[in-house]
């Protein structure tokens, strides 16, 4: 295998999406894992084929890919039937429907909060409808149980079962409810949902290869989906990942790197802020400089990015480039403090692209900077050893082009989320 070839398993990317999206839950980061576990166990009980059990498990991992904010997550877990639950279903559907490797999950995600009585009246296929309702049931079981894990789950399970049964036939297919009733009588089912057990189950499932290796172009498309989820975390970071990736790719081309390396840099740029999904919304959107404590919380995000990506076999250097975007040539920055010799050209390019794009973008506490102001910022950071001088000089040489890309003005050089959503839907609010 040459340096520019990739062999990345789709299953491991699905696990990465679940890890990133579950971070939005802040203090509960295993919701998707538990829904995947519950759905797969129901599939076993119902006699699903091995293929359908695997599908149900992965659907559980992916079902909340349309959730980016704490507020939406809170509404989904605090209300059994929240009136705006359809928003994240529609977003998840539109994110996946045109990405061939995951397109089969789109329709079940679209309907995974649709009550069974309404679902049977739609034109959804029997299989998609059943999978959607399977996830709805699994999701609501976990929501009802979540406050009881590590505490009194074996006492609370009877009340959880009674609650689910009140919705049998209306919200949930009675066949699924009957299967749940039989399955929940086992203490092992409930104990397995504890964090330490369900994470091990998902880890073991992740070792089963999906036999669907992603091409570099497919990895790029999937990274675009993941970047959208991150960028919707805050209106002030909308398109940040997208524009950093576009600018980093442009700088890499100007630097003379190969087309394959430029594509991989673009992927790293799209993924570099995944860890921000675990940063509290009030910190990301604070209309003033952060306190010392808030800054220390914010500074954890690049490590979280690394933790999400490093488990994906074959992603290696891309994960490192993405995670090193706040590291300094002089050993400053955070969170790893690698030596200058360990900071690759690709990582240095992404670091410059990230800073340059951030300063020209409007933020809660300041307006975006002008071209001259932005150049002065990165020049000073290069002088003090934070950024690579050669990369900064290259940005200065192509200053107008870089500014147009970073600010989103250049429609030819920049990536776009257009085409993901129907006309008029756009960046639908996640609040």
Instruction: Report the catalytic residues.
Output: 276
> How far, CA to CA in Å, does 397 sit from each of 361, 394, 403, 419?
21, 5, 11, 33
CB 272 within 8 A of CB 354: yes
Are 427 and 232 spatial neighbours (Cβ–Cβ below 8 Å)?
yes
Specify the 3-state DSSP secondary structure of 356.
Answer: helix
SS3 state of residue 172 = strand
Distances (CA, A) of 33 to 36, 60, 170, 199, 324: 5, 7, 26, 7, 28
Distances (CA, A) of 186 to 11, 150, 189, 314: 29, 17, 6, 39
Structure tokens at 298: 């914010």
Residue 93 Cα distances to 1, 21, 109, 180, 269, angstroms: 35, 15, 6, 26, 24
DSSP SS3 for 363: strand
What CA–CA distance (Å, rounded) separates 283 from 143? 26
Q: Taking each helix axis from N to C terminus, what angle separates 216-231 and 240-255, rounded to the nearest 10 degrees? A: 140
User: For residues 143 and 102, what is the distance between their CA atoms, to the nearest angstrom?
Assistant: 25
What span, in angstroms and rounded, lies between the C-alpha atoms of 154 and 161? Answer: 11
């Amino acid at each position: 295998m040459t340096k520019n070839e990739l062999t990345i398993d789709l299953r491991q990317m699905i696990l990465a999406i679940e890890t990133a999206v579950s971070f939005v839950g802040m203090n509960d980061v295993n919701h998707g894992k538990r829904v995947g576990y519950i759905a797969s166990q129901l599939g076993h009980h119902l006699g699903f084929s091995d293929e359908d059990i695997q599908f149900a498990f992965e659907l559980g991992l992916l079902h909340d890919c349309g959730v980016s904010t704490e507020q939406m997550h809170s509404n989904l877990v605090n209300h059994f039937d929240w009136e705006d639950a359809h928003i994240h279903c529609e977003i998840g559907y539109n994110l996946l429907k045109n990405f061939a490797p995951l397109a089969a999950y789109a329709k079940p995600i679209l309907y995974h909060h649709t009550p069974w009585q309404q679902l049977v009246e739609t034109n959804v296929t029997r299989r998609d409808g059943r999978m959607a309702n399977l996830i709805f049931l699994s999701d609501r079981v976990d929501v009802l149980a979540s406050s009881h894990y590590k505490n009194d789950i074996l006492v609370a399970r009877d009340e959880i079962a009674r609650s689910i049964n009140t919705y049998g036939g209306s919200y949930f297919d009675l066949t699924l409810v009957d299967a749940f009733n039989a399955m929940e009588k086992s203490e092992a089912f409930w104990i397995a949902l504890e964090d330490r057990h369900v994470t091990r189950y998902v880890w073991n499932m992740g070792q089963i290869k999906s036999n669907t290796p992603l091409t570099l172009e497919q990895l790029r498309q999937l990274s675009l989906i993941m970047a959208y989820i991150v960028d919707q975390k805050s209106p002030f970071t909308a398109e940040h990942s997208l524009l950093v990736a576009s600018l980093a790719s442009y700088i890499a081309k100007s630097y003379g790197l190969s087309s394959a390396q430029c594509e991989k840099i673009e992927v790293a740029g799209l993924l570099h802020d995944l860890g921000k999904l675990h940063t509290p919304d009030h910190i990301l959107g604070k209309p003033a400089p952060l306190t010392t404590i808030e800054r220390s919380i914010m500074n954890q995000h690049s490590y979280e990015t690394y933790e999400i990506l490093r488990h994906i076999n074959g992603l290696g250097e891309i994960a490192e480039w993405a995670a090193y975007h706040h590291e300094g040539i002089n050993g400053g920055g955070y969170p790893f403090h690698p030596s200058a010799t360990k900071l690759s050209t690709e990582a240095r390019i992404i670091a410059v692209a990230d800073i340059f794009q951030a300063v020209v973008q409007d933020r809660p506490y300041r307006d975006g900077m002008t071209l001259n102001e932005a150049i002065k910022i990165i020049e000073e950071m290069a002088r003090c050893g934070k950024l690579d001088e050669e990369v900064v000089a290259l940005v200065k040489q192509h200053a107008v082009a870089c500014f147009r890309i970073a600010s989103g003005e250049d429609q030819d050089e920049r990536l776009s989320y257009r085409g993901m959503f129907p006309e008029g839907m756009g960046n639908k609010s996640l609040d």
